Amino acid sequence: MSRLPKVQLLNNNRDEIVGSVEHNPLDVNTLQTTSRPLSTDDKYKMKFATKTIHAGIAPDPSTGAVMTPIYQTSTYAQAAPGDHQGYEYARTQNPTRHALEANLAALENGADGICFGSGLAAMDAILKLLNAGDEVVATNDLYGGSYRLITKIYERFGLKGHFVPMYDATQFEQYLTPNTKLIWIETPTNPMLNIVDIEAICKVAKARGILTAVDNTFASPYLQNPLDLGADLVVHSATKYLGGHSDTVLGAIMAKDAELAQRLHFIQNASGAVPGPMDCFLVLRGIKTLHLRVQRACENAEKIAHSLLGHPKINKVYYPGFTDHPGHELAKRQMRHFGAMVSFDLKEDTLESATKILTKTELFTLAESLGGVESLIGHPASMTHGSIPREERLKVGLTDSLIRLSVGVEDVDDLLADLKQAL
């Protein structure tokens, strides 16, 4: 007997959308998996390091292969119409993707995971939960691609984005209106490394019936679990720390409850922005060493951040591990370490000054992205945040000379020497 999960069709027309309720614009009859929920042992009893290797994963039923196979297929044989082994078409279901989704749900203590072709595709699916006229309140210091998706794509369809400071939860409520349907939190923020009080913001949202989503890419599940702090959804660019090897692009959402996960699975299937099985395999592979990689990277970042303090060419170093960082105490409460990202700007605040450093490093590679085993160096103003108007980024401190480091797992002495010679 096959051990593949069975899938029950709840409606003969799987594309049908039925009904509409407030905060639930996709109350649908759609696909429901019947054997994928994680056991209590998977979700709660395993320690994190054990979850990365075992949660949601079992040997392949046909061969006993220990590693989840790459099911590189677009369709599946049926004995008769509707008589299949739980899989019909690869946009809708794929065993490699299902294993990854189950594993990710366990890492974030969620009801289910939903995977997409990229982190922005995952965010896109969340925005599709909303209706024209709804408003999104987002951190004013966030990834440029998230800003672009809200302002350049979804505002054309009637959504409205507001980008506001979230660092003082007591002042946050003033930015909410009756039309606010989603609060988008990013913490630590990209690239200024500000810390947002997830629990406090989510309490405000819950009192008003507003959906909350936290982009947890910079922290990874090893350092921070937003669902445990009250968030409804947690989002990852799995391209970064989850994959960890800069060799795949993938996005993921983990939902706190099954009903919300089912709505997102409907969007996943209906919109079709799914990852391929090879990408899912690579992220599954990367997750197995997530705790080891992130711990080493955090230790390296801490030493590098302190080494940059007091350098005559550096104006300010941004790192939540500093005791004088405004979010330091909060980071200690809601994170397990301070992360492996460090930013700094220069006293000579020009692109030209930054470029001199960016082009001189030898171990730090000048490149977009973050979270890989290798150390990267970047210039947010012209790279990751190029879509944000200059006057807006300057308001949050993202200067022309700001440099962002994604610290890898190399020997820290070599990384320190590289930065020293570049500076």
**Active site amino acids:** 91, 143, 215, 240
Alpha-carbon span 240 to 262, nearest angstrom? 25
Contact 142, 163 (CB under 8 A): yes
- Distances, alpha carbon 10 to alpha carbons 14, 29, 31, 162, 271, in Å: 8, 6, 6, 38, 19
At 108, list the tokens: 């974030």
60 three-class SS:
coil
List the beta bridge partners of residue 346.
314
Torsional class of 9: left (φ above 0), alpha (ψ -120 to 50), beta (otherwise): beta
For 249, residues 6+ apart whose C-beta sits below 8 A from its C-beta are 117, 118, 239, 279
The string of DSSP codes covering 404-416 is EEE--SS-HHHHH
Residue 211's H or E segment, with its range, is strand 211-215
At 245, list the tokens: 């090897």
Alpha-carbon span 390 to 397, nearest angstrom? 11
* Locus of tokens 């960890």: 244
Alpha-carbon span 390 to 372, nearest angstrom? 28
C-alpha torsion sign, points 254, 258, 263, 267: positive
Alpha-carbon span 61 to 63, nearest angstrom? 6
Hey, what amino acid is at 320?
P
Q: Provide the 10 A C-beta neighbour count for residue 286.
A: 26
For 204, residues 6+ apart whose C-beta sits below 8 A from its C-beta are 169, 172, 173, 176
Strands 211-215 and 233-237 come out as: parallel
Alpha-carbon span 185 to 387, nearest angstrom? 19
Contact 186, 165 (CB under 8 A): no
Q: Provide the 10 A C-beta neighbour count for residue 407.
A: 28
